[in-house]
Amino acid sequence: MRQDLVSLAKKVHELYTPPCGCKLNGEVRWHGVVKCARKILLHQAETLLDQFSKFGYTNVAVATEVKCDPSITSRAHGGGAELQLGLSKLFDLVRSLETAMDCARVRHFNMSIGVGANIVRPLDPCSSVAATDDLLNQAAIAIYSNVCSILLSRPAEARRSLPDGLEGVMSEFGDPLYGVTLIQVEPTDELDRLKRQLHEVKHFEERLESKIRRLEREKKLKEMQPPRARFS
């Protein structure tokens, strides 16, 4: 048995941890483990293609996304019968389908809610560089991407960082009447992270206090104005 196939079969089992009867301890023939890895990958491919179908994709459309022949996605969707792909190419297919599915989920999510990154409005960024409109737009895109990731149950590793030069930023999310505010800081050790979050909270407090003072002044001036004369 080729060592590269054995290594790939072990990797497949580690990535997808299937409830199979294989033992990766050398007590069974590696041929059986490789065969099992192929079965695992075919199951993964079929599951992903089922998800694509729910989003309205045809096998041809998926093949275009992953840049392969439509006969491959069609056979994989049918359980893999007569699919002439070696373990390495089958593994590459599954990984490509996973990447394409991630993009498809985002597109479907955006279409469903009908909004984009413009729903995020960064305020008072803590920046070591000039807080230009372009920088704030990039921050909004990163924050929106992370909100999508959370709602789509992506792993934390999919987190998108703020643009270089931004340590943290507070943002309004959606219509201000909802009163939803987001804070994102770049990950460091827990102590530094908490300090950055507190710093952003203080920015938020200062902004609210300033707005309250302004509204109170406007209210007071309005109350001090004499009533308008009425003419019959």
Least confident range of 13-22, 52-61, 199-208: 13-22
Q: What are the strands, taking DSSP E only, across the chain?
A: 120-127, 166-173, 181-185
pLDDT tens string 72-123: 888 888 877 777 788 888 899 999 999 999 888 888 877 777 677 888 999 8
Residue with tokens 């008072």: 124
pTM for the whole structure: 0.56
Closest of 25, 26, 3, 24 to residue 15, by C-alpha: 24
With left for phi above 0 and alpha for psi between -120 and 50, is residue 171 left, alpha or beta? Answer: beta
In angstroms, how far is CA 48 from the centroid of its own chain?
17
The per-residue pLDDT for 138 is 92
pLDDT tens string 47-69: 899 989 988 889 899 999 999 88
Higher pLDDT, 172 or 226: 172
39 Cβ contact list (under 8 Å, min separation 6): 20
The per-residue pLDDT for 212 is 94
Least confident range of 15-29, 36-50, 86-100: 15-29
Are the C-beta atoms of 45 and 93 separated by less than 8 Å? Answer: yes
- pLDDT value at 6 more than 80: no
The per-residue pLDDT for 198 is 92
pLDDT band at 19 (very low <50, low <70, confident <90, very high): low
What percentage of the chain reaches a pLDDT higher than 90?
Answer: 21
Question: DSSP secondary-structure letter at 157?
Answer: G
The per-residue pLDDT for 18 is 64
pLDDT tens string 179-196: 899 999 988 888 998 998
Higher pLDDT, 195 or 158: 195
- pLDDT value at 177 more than 80: yes
Higher pLDDT, 131 or 134: 134
Q: At what angle do helices 59-66 and 30-54 cross, to 10 degrees?
A: 110
